[in-house]
């Protein structure tokens, strides 16, 4: 999660958000390469990134790499106004769903994938 740390309006000085897009795109591409080598018929990797601006709007981005676009990473945005109770609840519910999915996906992560990731670190 990146939280805006700069002064300015909602769309000014977005270096934190730009950094989040860059990191998310790299993770999506890396995840897809690793997944293709270990599980060729698996679903593509989808990265969830959340940006909260200074007006308390939470921007949830789903970053993904469509099979037809070889290197391009696309995203879908959903915005939640955290000052509105219903919108804030919807956002918390999205976070709950995200955590549930991460737990489910982590349980399926094979031992060979873990060792391959540790080899990249060295």
Domain ranges, ordered by start, for the chain:
2-121
Q: Distance (Å, rounded) from C-alpha 76 to C-alpha 114? A: 29
pLDDT tens for the chain, 122 residues long, are 455 555 555 555 566 777 888 888 888 888 888 777 767 677 778 888 888 887 899 999 998 888 766 678 888 999 999 999 999 999 999 999 988 888 887 776 665 555 555 565 55
Q: How far apart are CA 61 and CA 90, in angstroms?
A: 15
What percentage of residues in the chain have a pLDDT greater than 70?
70
pTM above 0.75, yes or no: no
Picking from 47, 18, 51, the residue whose alpha carbon sits closest to that of residue 30 is: 47
DSSP state of 112: H
């Amino acid at each position: 999660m990146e939280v805006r740390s700069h002064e300015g309006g909602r769309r000014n000085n977005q270096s934190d958000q730009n950094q989040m897009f860059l990191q998310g795109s790299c993770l999506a591409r890396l995840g897809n390469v690793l997944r293709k080598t270990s599980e060729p018929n698996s679903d593509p990797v989808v990265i969830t990134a959340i940006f909260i601006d200074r007006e308390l709007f939470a921007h949830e981005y789903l970053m993904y790499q469509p099979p037809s676009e070889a290197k391009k990473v696309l995203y879908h945005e959903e915005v939640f106004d955290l000052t509105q109770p219903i919108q804030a609840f919807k956002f918390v519910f999205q976070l709950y769903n995200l955590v549930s999915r991460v737990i489910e996906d982590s349980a399926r992560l094979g031992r060979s994938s873990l060792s391959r990731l540790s080899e990249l670190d060295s």
